[in-house]
Amino acid sequence: MTVKISSALRDRLCVAAKATPDIEVCGLVFGTSERVEDIAFCANVAPEPRRTFEIDPVALFAALRAERNGGPAVIGYWHSHPSGDVRPSATDAARAAADGKIWLIVAGDTLGGWRALPGKGGATAFDAVTLNVV
From the centroid of its chain, how far is CA 91? 14
Q: Which of 24, 34, 48, 54 is catalytic?
A: 24
What ranges in the chain are assigned the alpha helix state H?
7-19, 57-68, 90-95
Show Cβ contacts of residue 134 under 8 Å, excluding neighbours closer than 6 positions.
4, 5, 6, 7
Residue 37 among the catalytic residues: no
Amino acid in the structure at residue 123? A
Is 66:28 a contact under the CB 8 Å cutoff? no
* Beta-ladder partners of 116: 126
Query: 47 and 91 in contact (C-beta within 8 Å)?
Result: no
- Amino acid 89 reads S
Residues taking part in catalysis: 24
